[in-house]
Amino acid sequence: MNKIDVHNKALGVSFTNNGLAEVLVWAPKAQQVELCLNDGNTTIPLRKGEFGYWHETTDQLSPGDTYKFRLDEEQEYPDPASVSQPEGVHGPSQALDLLKFNWTDEAWQNLPLEDYVLYELHTGTFSEEGTFAGLEEKLDYLKDLGVNAIEIMPVAQFPGDRNWGYDGVFPFAVQDSYGGPKALQHLVNTCHQKGLAVVLDVVYNHLGPEGNYLGEYGHYFTDKYNTPWGQALNFDDAWCDGVRRYFTENLLMWFRDFHIDAVRMDAVHAIKDFSPNHILREMKQQVNELVEATGRTHYMIVELDLNDTRFINPLEEQGYGMDAQWVDEFHHALRVTMTGEDSGYYSDFSGIAHLAKAYEDAYVYDGQFSPHRNKTFGVKAAHNPGQQFIVFTQNHDQVGNRMLGERLGELVSYEIQKLAAAAVIFSPFLPMLWMGEEYGEPNRFQYFVSHTDPDLAEAVRNGRKAEFAAFHAQGEAPDPMDEETFQNSKLQWDLVQKGQHHILFRYYQTLLRLRRELPALKNLTRKNLEVSCDEARKTLTLRRWHGDQQIICLMNFNASAQPMALPSGGKTWNLVLDSAAPDWDGPQAAQPTAASGAQVTVQPESVVVYQA
């Protein structure tokens, strides 16, 4: 393992205490590298070091200055480790001293992972301003809602000013149209003052197509593997040491220089690495060293489509040590239960029986044959605690990758939305909300980009049409390049105080408060759980307990009222929540108390929660 100095970022430009610029770039393909200042009128040759690294220390580059690198006396390119691209992906890099920010979060301690309640958001569409500053204005709202960790979709510099973020091409640079690096530091500092953790989405499986200059410098990519989105990054082929260092330093930078509390690592199943020490495992080892040096806690959360506990098992068990993962299968089972969808990957899910299994086993497929994949899939996750699994009714993928970008509220009834929210929030896992779901935002979240290369823009536009050609009866896929597609995806904040939207918001507040206050819901011990379902009647009973407290959730996904039995055992059951109560604009409230073993009528598409 190439040990990295966890205290100082080495790649790119950093500044010493006496103001000198230390320049380091990995360019093994080059025979000569020069630092270009003053629009190329001043050049400083870099000295060649070992393993393809070029370096120099100079007093001619100051914080705020822009620069490029000239390779082999020919083309000039931005810095691969640039922290700021104020003129976009094709413009010069800007040198900044990230250590100069005046942090006031010394007292902040990251929340225990088991207490995380996540809220995923996209900076550009979350507020009218579409900036980190606009996001800051809504932090009190999020606190009032009851979430305590915001998860920000990727902010690495991408082409133009409209993008989901997964087309980033400068992993170290913070998107200029969002406010740039100083604004992100300010946001994180403010979040910590308000008791909110910050999770940042990072992409280490590919880079976007426009402004991607890394291949000019070094062997960042490999032909050994493919990804659905572009060339695979080189984590185990010739020259991979420099690539591994580049992305590990990037991860450490977010934690060290931006005080980010956790990262959500995009699609790690597309990170191909057959090295003896997988890159994720190496990253975790380096993060552990950083934690030991700083005393701050950081988590690594992965998006994983493999049902493979090796990723989330501890280092000492030869796992990769990831702290938690997204569990799409819980979403799929819940979605099929609600809507009956059966196309694509939904064809693997039977509905409520699989939802019951997801509650009990986290993975639905943990060794069974998967018809969609045409193979036996997954392993059991019996020994992994509840906080290692993040569940949701929707997220940016499950909404935005639909042709029209419909949110759940457009696909199911108001009553089902309330039932689904409780199904997630009262699960023995970490809940995540998707921005706007808490008040039933009707605006769709659609796929948008702002490529400046006309040919690439047209290719993306045509690719989107081709992807959904079979769905022509539903209409035309929105044009990803049209700014209106982006504007139509913004949240409508005036709705929060109106009608059913406000009722739904208060309902979500109540669910999250109950999760915090009731030990049986707060504690994520997966052993203290029983679940059963009736496939014919589309009902599910979830029972959880901690100490002397028992909670029973009676979920009815049927379009008609259903009788459901409370457990026997001599206890009196007291009503905690009824999504069908008039308070929540429902048709009829359940009885406030019920005897042990009693039958309770659960209204259509609703959930009743009792405590004993």
d(CA 175, CA 190): 19
Tell whether residue 397 is among the known ligand binding residues.
yes
Say whether 264 counts as a known binding-site residue.
yes
Q: What single letter denotes the amino acid at residue 204?
A: Y
Question: Known binder of ligand: residue 401?
Answer: yes
- H-state helical runs in 234-384: 240-257, 279-294, 328-339, 352-361
Annotated catalytic residue within 210, 257, 303, 348:
303
The residue among 267, 261, 247, 239 whose CA lies nearest residue 170 is 247
Q: Which pair of tokens denotes residue 579?
A: 């999504």
Dihedral over alpha carbons 218, 219, 221, 222 (to 10 degrees): 170
- How far apart CA 348 and CA 322 sit, in angstroms, is 26
- Annotated binding residue 199: no
346, 353, 315, 316: which is closest to 331 by C-alpha? Answer: 346
Cα separation, 158 vs 211, whole angstroms: 8
| DSSP track, 28-48 | TT-S-EEEEETTTTEEEEPEE
Say whether 379 counts as a known binding-site residue.
no
Q: Is 269 annotated as a binding residue?
A: yes
Which residues face 539 on adjacent strands?
534, 556
Judge contact between 360 and 529, C-beta under 8 A: yes
Q: How many CB atoms lie within 10 A of CB 29?
A: 14
Give the number of C-alpha atoms closer than 13 A to the C-alpha of residue 405, restricted to the C-beta side. Answer: 22
Residue 308 assigned to a binding site: no
Residue 332 counted as an annotated binding residue: yes
Dihedral sign from CA coordinates of 518, 523, 529, 531: positive
DSSP 386: G
Asked if 24 and 60 touch (Cβ cutoff 8 Å), the reply is no
Q: Is 265 annotated as a binding residue?
A: yes
Is 74 one of the annotated active-site residues of the chain? no
303 catalytic residue (yes or no):
yes
Token pair for 545: 């307990």
Any binding-site annotation on 331?
Answer: yes
Residue 403 marked in a binding site: no
SS3 for 91?
Answer: coil
329 is in an annotated binding site: yes
Given the residues 266, 415, 437, 441, the one annotated as active site: 266
Asked if residues 412 and 338 have their Cβ atoms less than 8 Å apart, the reply is yes
- Measure the CA–CA gap between 181 and 186, rounded to whole angstroms: 9
Helices 414-425 and 328-339: angle between axes, nearest 10 degrees: 150
Task: Give the tokens for residue 506.
Answer: 């208060």
Say how far apart CA 569 and CA 546 lie, in whole Å: 16
First to last CA, the chain: 53
Backbone φ, ψ for residue 320 (5° rounding):
-90, -10
Residue numbers belonging to the annotated binding site: 264-269, 328-332, 396-401
Residue numbers belonging to the annotated binding site for substrate: 264-269, 328-332, 396-401
Residues marked active site are found at 266, 303
